[in-house]
Amino acid sequence: MNLRPVRLPLFVRIAAGYGLILLVMLAIAALTLVRLREGASVADRLGREDAPALQAIDDLKVQIGNEQIAVNRFLLSSEVTPRGREDFLAPYFRSHDVIFGDLAVLNGLEGDSGSKELTTTLTGLRNQIQIVEAESDKEIAAIRDGASIEVANSMDFAEADAVRSLAAGIGDEVALSIRVSAADAQRSASESTRLVVIASVLGIGLSLLVAALVTVSISAPLGRLTATADRIAAGEMIEPAPSHRRDEIGSLSRAVTKMVQTLNQQAGELKRSNGDLEQFAYVASHDLQEPLRMVSGFTGLLKRRYAGKLDADADEYIEFAVGGANRMQALINDLLSYSRVGREEVAGKPVDTQIALDQALANLSTAIEERSALVSSGELPTVWANQGMVVRLFQNLIGNALKFCKAERPIVRIQAEARGAEWLFSVADNGIGIEAQYKDRIFMIFQRLHKQSEYPGTGIGLAVCKRIVERTGGRMWLESEPGKGTTFFFTLPATGGQQIAA
Amino acid sequence: MSDIHELVQILLVEDNPGDVRLTQEALKEAKFRNTVHVVGDGVEALAYLRQQGKYSAATRPHMVMLDLNMPRMDGREVLEAIKKDPDLRRIPVVVLTSSEAETDIARAYELYANCYVTKPVDIDHFLQVVKSIEEFWVEIVRLPSQ
């Protein structure tokens, strides 16, 4: 399986997700609060008595009066000075400029507040001022052209008064509407602030609650399931606690429980049938020993006492009987030793494989000498196994290498290299080799590839080797080139705690 | 010791007639003249050693060859009874059995067996072993006088 490794536990990722949501919420709340505070300060600025808008309105009224006074003085001056005294017009133009400034302030207010009523009222005021000023400009122009005061003074003071009172009215109206809207803005601002704070607190509380609920309802049961699975993996025959939840976690838990039950049942059956088989093999071979000893004992005695004393046929019969009994004896002994490898406790201990190899070579010393074989080894490690079994493993493999060799001088090389938590051993020979199609069959019990007369044996050696390796927690295989040689590979655990296959 | 050399008395406790015969044949080829008394189970063995019932006239053996697996009372029980009996415990007991089980070997020595021998299957080997046992216990070992 090619799953991408998950680096963070689920609950951390859930917490991180909710943390992010929290951060975003906090940011939004903070931004909203800042904006509201700004709005409140605008309202505050508008609502003050000395607000620039109110000052502008007051000033506007004064300036319109001043304009009117200046125009009248100019008109009257024409009675004494022809075409009037231009210097009397200076206040008029000053006031005109000031009015322009005041209107600009009011325009700004209009933009700030966005109130429609205020816009209408201000437009009215601007129009009135324009009308009054246009009238004044006409009178000034007439005097300048030399017209008499009677002709020029077509405009009534009442008209300017009307403008003033309009301005005053507008001023009051504007002031009132400003105050009202300012109060509204302030109230709504503080209300919104409260709402934002309440919403934020609620939101934060809710997301914390949901995060806690998610953790409790997902992480906790998954954690329990994992702990149970770990214990099962360690070899305990237990089942996960039953779950009554109706959600996916419940389904998962029930599916796992069902799987574990099925596995436990199958494991139990396998163990039983395996045990039965072992028991059968042991008892059968053990109980076969007794009659076999009788057969081989008495045929042996017959041969010893009567060989050459009966006729040639009798001698031949006796020879066959003795030979058959001996082969059967060898088979039963091998069957017993094979079944013993399955029955014996592996009881792992640190085993120095160099010492085990030396022991195996000592047991094989006669065969090694007879064939003048060259057996060499690299640096060999300490593994976690059963000493006796490792000796037998080396002895069987090297014994085979010597036996299945046509070369003048058998050469066997034993090496080991570290592979993670295990050691990979290789036993290479220059023997006759094994054809590819037999490389699995060769490990089966009593499987032989050669005639008894060619290479004697029962075909148990490699089956025992494989069984020893597998019971110790390793694997075994071979690579071979017929005619050139064979290399057997096997792995053994470096340290204890490895699960031992039953 | 000259008595022993003249005629060695051996009690063979063995239920299998084939094994009895093989052992007898082996002892026939042995160095010393001997008489083999055969009993078929543990109950009879103890009766013989204690000269009870039909064995009231039995001679005390110089050595016991004991099989382990037998009906009624097996070799382990016989061994235990012999080694608990102050009168019999000096008699060397050779456990001669087909069992190679480690537990049987350990148990036998715990019960003070004098030695434990597994019957070889090969007849030549078997004959050799039985003869060696006889030679060892009769000729080599010094035993207390009766």
Question: Is A294 in contact with B25 (Cβ distance < 8 A)?
Answer: no
Distance between A471 CA and the closest CA of chain B, angstroms? 21
Q: Does A289 touch chain B (CB under 8 A)?
A: yes
By the 8 A CB rule, do A480 and A439 touch? yes
Q: Which residues of B touch A290 (CB under 8 A)?
A: 16, 98
DSSP result, A138-166: HHHHHHHTT--HHHH--S-HHHHHHHHHH
Cα dist. A266→A270, A272, A498 in Å? 6, 10, 22
Q: Using alpha carbons only, how large is chain B's radius of gyration in Å?
A: 14
Of B25, B119, B124, the CB nearest to A293: B119
- Residue A1 binned pLDDT confidence (cut-offs 50, 70, 90): very low
Question: Is A300 in contact with B25 (Cβ distance < 8 A)?
Answer: no
Where do we find the tokens 């050139």? A484
Residue of A288, A289, A293, A304 to mutate for B, most B C-beta atoms under 10 A = A293
Provide mean pLDDT across the span A13-17: 77
A157-175 per-position pLDDT tens digit: 666 666 667 666 766 766 6
What is the phi/psi pair of residue A419, to 5°?
-135, 85
Of A289, A292, A297, the CB nearest to B126: A297
pLDDT at A499: 45
As for the ipTM of the complex, it is: 0.78
pLDDT at A502: 39
**What chain B residue is nearest to A305 in terms of C-alpha separation?**
B25
- A residues 308..327 contacting B (CB < 8 A): 326
Please say if the pLDDT value at position A156 is more than 70.
Answer: no
Of B25, B98, B126, the CB nearest to A290: B98
A332/A287 Cα distance (integer angstroms) = 10
Please say if the pLDDT value at position B2 is more than 50.
Answer: no
Spell out which chain B residues touch chain A, with contact meaning CB-CB distance below 8 angstroms. Answer: 16, 18-19, 22, 25, 98, 119, 121-124, 126
Six-digit token string for A305 = 């006492």
pLDDT at B52: 92
Distance between B121 CA and the closest CA of chain A, angstroms? 5
Strand order across the B93-97 sheet: B34-39, B8-13, B63-66, B93-97, B115-118
pLDDT at A82: 81
Closest-CA residue to A427 (of A464, A461, A393, A382): A393
- Residue A79 binned pLDDT confidence (cut-offs 50, 70, 90): confident
**What chain A residue is nearest to B97 in terms of C-alpha separation?**
A290
Lowest mean per-residue pLDDT among A56-70, A101-115, B9-23 = A101-115
By the 8 A CB rule, do A471 and A341 touch? yes
* One-letter amino acid for residue A412 of the chain: V
B146/B91 Cα distance (integer angstroms) = 9
Distance between B116 CA and the closest CA of chain A, angstroms? 18
Residue of B29, B104, B122 to mutate for A, most A C-beta atoms under 10 A = B122
Q: Does A157 touch chain B (CB under 8 A)?
A: no
- Residue B1 binned pLDDT confidence (cut-offs 50, 70, 90): very low
Please say if the pLDDT value at position A2 is more than 50.
Answer: no
Q: Which residues, 6+ apart, have CB-to-CB distance to A465 below 8 Å?
A: A392, A393, A396, A397, A443, A476, A488, A490
A364/A361 Cα distance (integer angstroms) = 5
Cα dist. A123→A19, A106, A135 in Å? 53, 11, 18
Closest-CA residue to A433 (of A488, A396, A482): A482
CATH of B2-137, one of 3.40.50.720, 3.40.50.2300, 3.20.20.70, 1.20.20.10: 3.40.50.2300
Mean pLDDT of chain A: 82
Please say if the pLDDT value at position B121 is more than 60.
Answer: yes
B81/B6 Cα distance (integer angstroms) = 29
Please say if the pLDDT value at position A210 is more than 90.
Answer: no
- Residue A365 binned pLDDT confidence (cut-offs 50, 70, 90): very high
Q: Name the pairing type of β-strands A422-429 and A411-419.
A: antiparallel
Ordered by start, the domain boundaries in chain B are: 2-137
Of B18, B122, B124, the CB nearest to A294: B18
Q: CA B82: distance to chain centroid?
A: 12
Q: Which residues of B touch A301 (CB under 8 A)?
A: 22, 25, 123
